[in-house]
Amino acid sequence: MGTASPREPGHTGMKSSESTTESGRLDAERAIFADLSTTLAVESAARRRKLRIKVWLGRAAVLVIIFGGWQAATGIGLVDTVLTSTPLDVLKYLANAVTDRSLQSAVVATLTASIEGLVIGSIIGIILALLLHELPTLAKATRPYITFANSLPRPALAPIFLVWFGLGLTAKVVLSISIVLFVMLITTTGGLQGTNHDWLLLSRSMGMSRVQRLFRIEVPASTPSIMSGLRISASYSVLGVVISELVAASTGLGQLLIQSTNSFNIAASFGLIIIVGLIATALDQLISLIEHRLAWSPTR
């Protein structure tokens, strides 16, 4: 009969000691990496904070240069205040506008029409882009007509829409849609056509259907183009509404702008232009915030 080989008395203790040493070394490395990650995160946050401060200082400097130069030019008589007004007069108008009920209702009317035009036009434009992307023969057949329709001057269409839909909200929204629709159609189509070819090959090798490939690969990949189109459309939707209001409308910033210009109230005209710009900027910033929330990349 064989006998069991005796265990070496120090063998188990040696293994235990090596395991403890290895565990301690790993813990020390983890602590070092954790400290390094924390340090990098703090430094990155500090850099972003400094960058934001520089950006806001730069924006403030631009305003100071523009309005300071304007005020100085009017102060020394370089420009006629009758024709250009002064920054102080414009600021006084904007300050009084806060409590002006007629201006508030005009802002609401313009903003409402702009948002409706942006939403409806974007939905129609994206749907048309998806449809034409999946039906290339139809896309080729309708391309000349799309180009022709997009080339029509919107100020020339405004009176026609006013005849069709009246002086209310509908005419303004329709004109805004006529601009936004084509912006979203073009940008979405470009995003769909720019999808990475390797992703499409991989999706076909995985047996994805056309619908699955469209909504799981191509639409997400075109999100940056769609969001860029929305940011452009935000400004153009406001532009379309104001154009319609300039021609004729029951209420809106465009109507107030026409009235102030006809009465030679240049300070009010500049104030209204600033308000229109602020509305467009606010819509653009809102879409930018949504864009950051929806940031997507198949390579992540």
Per residue in 35-67, pLDDT (tens digit) is 667 777 777 777 878 888 888 888 888 888 888
Asked if 144 and 274 sit in the same domain, the reply is yes
Domain that holds residue 268: 85-293
Highest mean pLDDT among 34-38, 95-99, 115-119, 223-227: 115-119
| Count of C-beta atoms within a 10 Å radius of residue 261 | 14
Task: Flag the least confident range among 35-44, 98-107, 165-174, 289-298.
Answer: 289-298
Closest by CA position to 253, among listed 264, 244, 245, 263: 245
In a domain, 99, yes or no: yes
The three-point CA angle 52-54-57 to 5° equals 110
Does residue 187 contact residue 232 with C-beta atoms inside 8 Å? yes
Does residue 199 contact residue 298 with C-beta atoms inside 8 Å? yes
The three-point CA angle 55-58-60 to 5° equals 110
| Count of C-beta atoms within a 10 Å radius of residue 270 | 22
Q: Which two tokens stand for residue 123?
A: 């939905």
What is the mean predicted confidence (pLDDT) over 251-280?
Answer: 89
What is the mean predicted confidence (pLDDT) over 275-299?
Answer: 79
In a domain, 13, yes or no: no
Does residue 268 contact residue 260 with C-beta atoms inside 8 Å? yes
Per residue in 182-209, pLDDT (tens digit) is 999 999 998 888 776 776 666 677 767 7
User: Percentages helix, strand, coil for the chain, rounded to the nearest 5?
Assistant: 85, 0, 15
User: Does this model's pTM top 0.95?
Assistant: no
Asked if 65 and 140 sit in the same domain, the reply is no
Question: Which of these three, 63, 79, 95, is where a domain ends?
Answer: 79
Asked if 92 and 241 sit in the same domain, the reply is yes
Task: Flag the least confident range among 9-13, 58-62, 95-99, 290-294.
Answer: 9-13
- Rounded distance between C-alpha atoms, residue 266 and residue 186, angstroms: 38
Highest mean pLDDT among 67-76, 148-157, 191-200, 218-227: 148-157
Asked if 90 and 75 sit in the same domain, the reply is no
